[in-house]
Each structure stands twice: as C-alpha cells, then as structure tokens.
Amino acid sequence: MKNLSLTGHDITIGSGHPLVVMAGMNVLEDRDLAMRICERLKSVCERLALPYVFKASFDKANRSSINSYRGPGLEEGLRILSDVKDAFGVPAVTDYHTPQQAAAVAEVAEIIQVPAFLCRQTDLVVAGAEAVLARGGWLHVKKAQFLAPWDCRNIVTKVAEVTGDKRNPTILCERGASFGYNNLVVDMLGIPAMKALDVPVTIDATHAVQLPGADPRTSGGSTGGRREGVSIIAQSAVAAGADGVFLEFHEEPDKALCDGPSCLDLDAAEPLLARLKSIHEIVSGR
C-alpha cells in the first residue's frame, strides 16, 4: 500500500507509520468551543506521540429534519477553521458538499472530505481531487452506507484519472453499512478489502454507531446513537488494519448541537487513544 505524506506537516499515513488521529467536533458551534476542543486533543496526541488533525464541519447538509442545526456555513466556518489552525499549528479536515466548494475548502483544510451519501457523485469527487492535487492535500472519502468495500475501486479510479502519474491522494473511510431500519453495522473485513485498493483506510467510529433517524429525544427528528460502541468499533478497526481514526468529542456530549448520542466526552480521549496506539503498534509491528 502506498503511503501519503501531508505537504507542510510532518504527517504520513500508511504502513509503518503512526496511527493518524482525525478528531474534533461534529459541527462547528462557536469559535471558543472549537479552540478548547482542539487544544485539548492536540495536547493528548502530543503526549501519546500521535499525529493530529483537527476535524469539524462547517455545514451538515444531510440532517434528518429541516429544523436541525447545520452549522455556521462556508464563509464563517472556514474562518473559524483557519483561526484554529493558526492558533495551534495543526492541519484540518472538513467536508464539502458541492463541486463549487472544493477549491475554497482546500485553501483552508489540508484534508477535504467527501460525505458518505455523495461518494458516487463523479463531479464532486473530481473537483475534490483537483483541489487537493493543486495544494498537496488529501481527499478523505467516506464509504457510503450502501456501498460494498471493493466497489470503492471506482472512487479510487476516478481520482487517478485526475491525478495521472502523480500519487493518488485518496484515503477511504469506513463508517458502517445500512442493516435493516435505523441501524448500521461495520464489517471489519472491509478494512483490508479497501486497503487492497492501494490506499490508506480510516475508521469513522463515531458515525458507525449512529441510529439514523432514531433519536427518541426528537421522536425520529434526528439521528440517535450508541456512544458506548465507539471505542469497540475503533479498537476493532485498528486491529483489522486501519491506518487512522476519525472521532468526535464534546465538552458536554448530550448538549452537542449535532449527533450528540454518538460523540464522546473529551475526558474519554486520552485513555481511548492510548489503547488505539497500543493496538496499532502490535498490528503494525512497530
């Protein structure tokens, strides 16, 4: 499998390298909260000698209800992400939702993310590939809940058509598959199946525990989740060979404005990441 190095940062993802941590908050709520979460997670990762990327969305376009909180939007969201990066010297990952957004998002975020429901949208994938190719970034593609791991080959191929002989900047992300109504499951055999496509693979353990449209607090008006399953899925995926983890935290998870039932308390970050580091080192022989 080819490794990927992030331009401007001492971070490489892939075989023989430390577990990459993409972690932060689900959606930007306000600047001060983003600053506090990034500061805390960066400190944890520094103590554990794990490469850290701050994660937050400026818009959550696929909400269950039209009344659900979506975020500050493109302009304000990118401003907050830029402020966080400048304050703590870390790279950022955030998602984009239209081809027109790709270039602007890639100017701020070193890693731009294709949402799971949109990973088959050719124009979106191509625009993202062009944007990160111009800046030496990575394209983090969430595998759709309806897509088989080996069918991600078509996504990787689309990006390769853009990059040509240059290194393919794609990272695939496992986040569960739809299994009946209001439920997701993660097939850990999908991790090595996607790595066989010659790209690094991460696990989104936060969204993998979602119960889509099944939050009892809103009578199905938002997504529920099984917070207690995050660590189980993260540890299992790293044991299966994942090269990075994608996790969401909050100071008060039950008060998070988006996907609170799936995110972890900040106090859980250090013990969980320490376990994940140990598992990754055993699996990779480091």
pLDDT digits (tens, 9 = 90+) for 21-48: 999 999 999 999 999 999 999 999 999 9
- From the candidates 60, 142, 143, 158, give the one annotated as an active-site residue: 60
- From the candidates 26, 59, 142, 243, give the one annotated as an active-site residue: 26
pTM over 0.85? The answer is yes
Q: What is the pLDDT of residue 50?
A: 98
Q: What is the pLDDT of residue 81?
A: 98
26 is catalytic: yes
182 has pLDDT over 90: no
123 is catalytic: no
pLDDT digits 0-9 by tens, 247-284: 999 999 888 887 777 789 999 999 999 999 999 999 98
Q: What is the pLDDT of residue 219?
A: 46
Residue range 164-174: mean pLDDT, rounded: 92
For helices 269-284 and 230-239, angle between their N-to-C axes, nearest 10 degrees: 20
143 is catalytic: no
- From the candidates 95, 204, 243, 259, give the one annotated as an active-site residue: 259
Residue range 105-117: mean pLDDT, rounded: 97
Residue range 42-58: mean pLDDT, rounded: 97
Q: Give the residue among 250, 254, 279, 278 at the shortest CA–CA distance from 41.
A: 250
